[in-house]
Amino acid sequence: MSDQFKQEAAERAAEDVTEGMRLGIGTGSTAEFFVQALAKRVAGGLNIVGVPTSERTRDLATELGIKLTTLDEMPQLDLTVDGADEFDPELALIKGGGGALLREKIVAAASERMIVIADGSKEVDALGRFPLPIEVVPFGLEATRRAIVTVLSDLGLPDVLVLRGGASQPFVTDGGHFILDAHLEKISDVKALATRLVAIPGVVEHGLFIDLATKAYVAGTDGVKTVL
Ligand code: ABF
């Protein structure tokens, strides 16, 4: 069922793509449905160029015949379409469950608009039930972890940080970094947390996307609703 909803949201977003668009293309299972829907429109004659947010998306889009470029070639984009792990009523997001948060955020920030595509299970009143991914450089991992714990304690949040993949075989991002997943339950002040995290030298990025998404297509049993 969830797959069907993801596909419906993705197909709705593909309808918003217009001729000549410069498009950021997201990562994850919902974004893959978007790539498939977009590929159908491209096969039908739509002319667009895409910037993928991960190697995985690059491979799929290439395979399906979507013309791609890089942000260096095309540093300003019209629209990014991407999934999310959670979104709140203000369209603040948690992303990065798939490990592509850094490229996803760079691409979204380079885009004039961002559409989130999701099934209804991602909609929450307050972010935090989904563990917040924090991308860190491998050098000085323990020092960075401690600095993050201090920030979480200062903000009254639980300080449970889990190295993705485990210590013996950590997950490595497309950028060569590690991810610490923070189990926070409920983030009361999203902006304060974001500001404090980016100030830590070993933190490359975090999965809080604030003031980036401009619209969400959310699919459920009642069809696809638009959140603005
Ligand atoms: C990407 O894919 C990520 O930022 C997010 O972690 C994940 C959502 O996954 P899915 O669409 O598979 O639920 O958008």
Residue by residue, DSSP assigns 112-163 as EEEEEEEEGGGB-SSS-SSPEEEEE-STTHHHHHHHHHHHHHHTT---EEEE
Phi and psi for 207 in degrees, rounded to 5?
A: -85, 10
Residue 30 Cβ contacting ligand 1 at under 6 Å: yes
pTM for this entry: 0.95
Among the listed residues 32, 86, 104, 135, the single catalytic one is 104
Average pLDDT estimate for 134-148:
98
3-state secondary structure of 37: helix
1: pLDDT strictly greater than 80? no
Task: Give the gyration radius of the chain's Cα atoms.
Answer: 17
Quick check: is 15 catalytic? no
- The predicted pLDDT at position 104 comes to 95
d(CA 3, ligand 1 centre) in Å: 12
- β-bridge mates for residue 124, sequence order: none
Report the atom number in ligand 1 closest to the C-alpha of 6: 11
Angle between the N-to-C axes of helices 141-154 and 190-198, in degrees from 0 to 180, rounded to the nearest 10 = 150
Residues 211, 93: Cα–Cα separation, whole Å: 9
pLDDT tens, residue by residue, 62-117? 999 999 999 999 999 999 999 999 999 999 999 999 999 999 999 999 999 999 99
Residues 181, 129: Cα–Cα separation, whole Å: 12
Residue 26 Cβ contacting ligand 1 at under 6 Å: yes
Residue 131 Cβ contacting ligand 1 at under 6 Å: no
> What ipTM describes this predicted complex?
0.96
d(CA 99, ligand 1 centre) in Å: 9
Residue 11 Cβ contacting ligand 1 at under 6 Å: no
